[in-house]
Structure 1
Amino acid sequence: MPIAMDFFPTFFSLDAASNPWVLRDGLIQYLRTEKGIEDTDAYLSAGVDIEEIHSEIATRLASVEKEAGGIDRIVLSKPFNQLIFLFATTLNEIANGPVSKSHIDLAASLRPDDVVVTFNWDTLMDRAMIEAAGWSLDDGYGIKPHSVFRDGWNGPANRRSSNKLIKLHGSVNWLTAHPIYEGDELVFTHALPAESLFVYDYATQPYPTHAGRYTGGYAPLTYGYYPPNLIGVPSRSAPDGYVIVKAQAKMPWMPEGQAGKEGLPSMPLIIPPVKEKSYKFFGTLFETLWQQASAAIQACDEILVIGYSFPRTDLKSLDLFKSAFVQRKSIPRVTIVDPYPSRPQEVFQHELGIPKSHLRVVASPFLGQETIAPLFDI
């Protein structure tokens, strides 16, 4: 999955880059007015680090919020949210196809009560676990969704998954309502608790979405640029003395959507790769997930780390392991699978105290069964 400097070149290689419904106007305006860049597509496709751009906008947005920045707040919120949608649509386009064979091999190797913890937003592992491990997104994320979309919104089914898939930074098929400012406070357009989670499973027919802009032809857990609107969800009332006005400009180059428009527009529920991550904005949702991940790390006999490099800037993830290891009464066996394993090996040996006798390093990409079989004698 593309990230950092690979992201924009990957995005521009997709059909989504030429789709007028895939919005980039806020980002383009920001780059032109704030950075003086005229040919924004050339600038982005040259390999600009999307994490740096998103962090820069997030930092400026936070300072504007402290100063009650009025129109500047809107100007910065637009590219910030558009980048979240660009993340989601790029990952959805990549995942929209057959289920990844290497992920299926990994899912099939899971034993009862094994836990998968990931910082990724894509749904490759989700789909593989559904196909190979009988996993269900109704209860398999470790948190109970408010609703699940299967050609319409309904409560989660009464199912039990033997494995948990804990997604510590959210997921592109997790949805929430759009954020809005109520005075100086950023709130959701829905009137539910902030941790309320909506999970998208599949759509075989058009669904109501923003401006009716439904796009079909997507595999389960993936969708076009616009996810389904939230139906039957209480919306936030306007403050006393105010009314809520909804307007949509019609542009000659923008084709009209033909699907319904009812309900609250939704957006992906992910923690973007910015330096100051806004976990608390989603109430207790991520606190619960991180606690479950910590409990799994404390209890497990074996830890298999695939392709996670423990970036030096992500102190929260390192603290997760440190705090969990402090609570352990035994030393787990650790296997690292990574073509560049020096950083995770350094972390486990020198910062987490794993002796060489309990550490195995596979300095190669993860290749599914080819990698798994020698590890566990499958």
Structure 2
Amino acid sequence: MKNVFLLGAGASKSYNSSPTGQRMPIANDFFSTYSKLPINFDPWALKTKLLYYLNLRDGLDHLDLFDFNEDIENLHSEIQIKAYDIIKANKNNKSVEEQVTLGAYYELIFLFIAGINQIQNGPISQTHLDLAKLVTNDDAIITFNWDTLMDRALMEVTSWNCDTGYYVKPLGVYRDKWMNTNIKSIQMPRLLKLHGSSNWLTSYVTFENGKEIPMQALSADNFFHHVFITIEQPKLIRNIRV
């Protein structure tokens, strides 16, 4: 490996070609950005448990997230720690508060992914294309961002593909239909997405009478991915966890 490029939130914030007119959110402006997106008005974009969680935590009547300005990274970490503790406890019957916390965790991830997918659903990012043109097959890119701006740019101008280009291999890839992963090894740059990606899909659980009910018979360690999830495939981004 010759060169390693490290991308933070600013790389995604540079994207200004979204049909939504919005730029990628950062920690302190996620909710204000999300409130301007079409997905905010989609009845499938559930946020009731997240609002209930905030009401219980703050003792305030949060009716919506339009004016909520909390740092999403801090909020995500807070809920994630509590959710993981609840999952590790493995209780047969969870309290209402525990169910609300787990539901808020899944809803927050969904809102984050759905918002990112709508913003990135435009022309390929010129900034990322410029970087991709500098990358060789011996180089690697490390990103903490969930969007697919770098993925699309690499696929456009290099030999990179999403079957094997992430280092981790999915069980299947969606290209108009579900297909097996192409595991043929070729020389290409590598893209390491340390926080996951908005086009990676796996199972999640729901709750009935306080008990966990898996939505699919799939280990959380396994995942599939869509080449790129966009607003033209809304059913594929509903009820998923990354």
Give the TM-score category using the shorter length.
0.7 to 0.9
Partner of residue 76, structure 2: 54
Change (3 A) 1:12 1:193: closer
* Aligned partner of 1:135 among 118, 137, 160: 160
Contact 2:202 2:222 in 1 (8 A): yes
Q: Which amino acid in 2 is paired with 1:79?
A: A
Partner of residue 75, structure 1: 100
Query: Deviation at 1:45?
Result: 2.6
CA distance in 2 between partners of 1:32 and 1:194 (Å): 29
Partner of residue 227, structure 1: 236
Partner of residue 180, structure 2: 155
Query: Deviation at 1:147?
Result: 0.3
Q: Which amino acid in 2 is paired with 1:51?
A: E
Partner of residue 168, structure 1: 194
Q: What's the TM-score once normalised by structure 2's chain length?
A: 0.77
Change (3 A) 1:193 1:82: closer
| Residues 295-329 of structure 1: CA deviation (Å, up to 9, x unaligned) | xxxxxxxxxxxxxxxxxxxxxxxxxxxxxxxxxxx
RMSD, matched Cα: 2.9
Query: Deviation at 1:88?
Result: 0.2
| Residues 211-261 of structure 1: CA deviation (Å, up to 9, x unaligned) | xxxxx754xxxx53x426xxxxxxxxxxxxxxxxxxxxxxxxxxxxxxxxx
Partner of residue 339, structure 1: none
Change (3 A) 1:127 1:11: same
Partner of residue 292, structure 1: none
CA distance in 1 between partners of 2:48 and 2:153 (Å): 35
Number of matched pairs: 214
Partner of residue 84, structure 1: 109
Change (3 A) 1:27 1:194: closer
SS of the aligned residue for 1:267 comes to coil
Query: Deviation at 1:100?
Result: 0.3
Partner of residue 29, structure 1: 52
Query: Deviation at 1:41?
Result: 2.9
Change (3 A) 1:164 1:59: closer
Change (3 A) 1:161 1:197: farther
Query: Deviation at 1:152?
Result: 1.6
Partner of residue 146, structure 1: 171
Q: Which has the higher contact order (CA 8 A, sep 6+)?
A: 2
Partner of residue 42, structure 2: 19
Query: Deviation at 1:2?
Result: 1.5
CA distance in 2 between partners of 1:54 and 1:124 (Å): 22
CA distance in 2 between partners of 1:144 and 1:187 (Å): 26
Query: Deviation at 1:179?
Result: 3.1
- Name the larger-Rg structure: 1
Contact 1:64 1:72 in 2 (8 A): no
For structure 1, list consecutive stretches of 5 or more residues without a partner in the other structure.
Answer: 204-215, 229-264, 270-378
Q: Which amino acid in 2 is paired with 1:73?
A: E
* Aligned partner of 1:45 among 49, 62, 67: 67
